[in-house]
Amino acid sequence: MKTAMIVLAVIVLLAPAAQAQRAYCGLPNTIGLYTTPTPTGGNDLCVVQSSPGAASFQLYLLICNPTDETTGLPITNLGGYELGVFPTEGWFLEFTYPANTILFSQGPPNIRIAGLIPITGDFTVLAEVTLRSWDGTMGAIYMNQIDDGSPTIPGHMAITNADNEFIPSRAYPVLAEDLDDGSVFFINWGGCMPLPAAESSWGAVKAMYR
């Protein structure tokens, strides 16, 4: 496991940015937050808060179709992953990880995990997540590279292949619906609709963690 940590921390691959990933799954190496471990549609990427007030929701951090970029082959055993998760003000995330993982940085915002995580199908659960709020305001969750100044692959989240020397590959957030603001999940009132632009922005959310 020390080898996994070292490889994940120091290998840097410079690669062009990929197009934002959508459609819940289908494309390799997509990671997202969902309301179910077996998502099927857009409503699995949001929750509806009927009125202001304390709230708690069960979510799942899932990876879809992990693939080793160096071989082009599906990953059978995930060796680790790193990503940043950034909720808007007023919302808090609590992560529960499987027993077969080592937590180097358990977040949020920055999550670095090593382990031997078997890939079980199109979707594999990386963590169970509790989403909480004391006031129930509208909000969103953003996902991007880790925000500690030392991402393994600059500009990207990363995963490793336990069966190929823990070599890292790029990973991508599954964006909520067809949004272009970087949000992967949102909390709204009255229905699963994106937040108004004035309610939240990626830059404002990142500023909270500086």
For residues 80 and 192, what is the distance between their CA atoms, to the nearest angstrom? Answer: 32
Do the beta carbons of residue 177 and residue 20 sit within 8 Å? no
For residues 181 and 173, what is the distance between their CA atoms, to the nearest angstrom? Answer: 12
- How confident is the model at residue 125, as a pLDDT? 94
Residues 6+ apart with CB under 8 A from 164: 68, 70, 71
- How confident is the model at residue 185, as a pLDDT? 79
Report the percentage of the chain scoring pLDDT > 70: 71
Gyration radius of the chain over CA positions:
16
Range in 52-61, 103-112, 195-204 with the lowest mean pLDDT: 195-204
Report the percentage of the chain scoring pLDDT > 90: 34
Q: Indicate the domain borders of the chain.
A: 2-12+28-192
Asked if pLDDT for residue 178 goes beyond 60, the answer is no
Which CATH code for domain 2-12+28-192?
2.60.40
Asked if pLDDT for residue 205 goes beyond 90, the answer is no
Range in 18-27, 79-88, 162-171 with the lowest mean pLDDT: 18-27
- How confident is the model at residue 58, as a pLDDT? 93
Asked if pLDDT for residue 88 goes beyond 80, the answer is yes
